[in-house]
Amino acid sequence: MEMKKKMKLPRAHAQGIFSPSFVGSKIPPKQKSLRIHPRTHVRGFLRRGITALIIAIILFVLLYSAFLYVGKLLTPKKVHYHAGFVVFENDKKKDFSDFKYMRIKPCLLDQNQKDSKEDIQAEKAHLHDSVGDVVHIEGENALWRDLFQNIRYKLDYSKAFTFINGSKVKNFENQKIQPYDSIVILIGSNKSNHLQDAVPKNYIEEKAAKSVDCGD
């Protein structure tokens, strides 16, 4: 009996799932889709919302603090002191005790920093209580020209000879007014320097203490 010859089939180049290199290898299990409970969504949303709210509050506090700090830097400091002054024109002393030279408002600036620009300028240097030779300084960096600007007295600074605390100075209008300064301003033709007529410190202190409109 003739034996049937087996036909040799050519091997496929591709590897099947039963090929020697694949058989025995671990087949990855089918992944199951994850189901997230609705409460988990809510909790995550709340956490993100609370975090965003906290960040917003912190930013607001920082910005508001920066705003207050900048405002404080730009606001003039509240100072309060006095100085004396006299003006002689052709050896005649000018009288500044007239009501038109006086500042009526109390000279303390608003503690809540709500002052107008006009008030800030006026408080730098002004007169009170019909006393025409004691200057009240309530604004930071007050100059002598601020006084004459505020009392509306026109003065040609280029033609004035000036002594502050007995020493001759130039461009006195740009000098900062210091506590208890005593300035003598000469205009026109004067035979004397009138230093003996300078306002003394004890007089400044006396008038400042008696001032009704000046506050403390």
Provide the number of structural domains found in the chain.
2
Contact 169, 163 (CB under 8 A): yes
Any alpha helices (H) in the chain, and if so which ranges?
A: 38-74, 117-124, 144-150, 201-210
Statement to judge: residues 55 and 83 lie in one domain? no
For residue 84, give the CATH number of its domain.
3.10.20.30
With a pLDDT cut of 70, the percent of the chain lying above it is: 69
Statement to judge: residues 117 and 63 lie in one domain? no
Statement to judge: residues 176 and 107 lie in one domain? yes
Residue 51 lies in a domain: yes
Q: What is the mean pLDDT of residues 2-6?
A: 51
Q: Compute the Cα dihedral for 77, 78, 84, 89 and give only its sign.
A: positive
Residue 10 lies in a domain: no
Residue 92 lies in a domain: yes
Could you tell me the residue range of the domain that residue 53 belongs to?
A: 38-74
Statement to judge: residues 198 and 95 lie in one domain? yes
Statement to judge: residues 46 and 113 lie in one domain? no
Statement to judge: residues 58 and 100 lie in one domain? no
Statement to judge: residues 176 and 106 lie in one domain? yes
How many angstroms from the chain centroid is the CA of residue 29? 69
From the DSSP assignment, how many helices (H) and strands (E) are in the chain?
A: 4, 6
d(CA 107, CA 180): 17
- What does the pLDDT look like over 111-137, one tens digit per residue? 555 678 888 899 999 999 999 999 999
- Answer with the residue of higher pLDDT: 27 or 143: 143
- Answer with the residue of higher pLDDT: 47 or 209: 209
Contact 186, 193 (CB under 8 A): yes
Statement to judge: residues 47 and 118 lie in one domain? no
- pTM over 0.85, yes/no: no
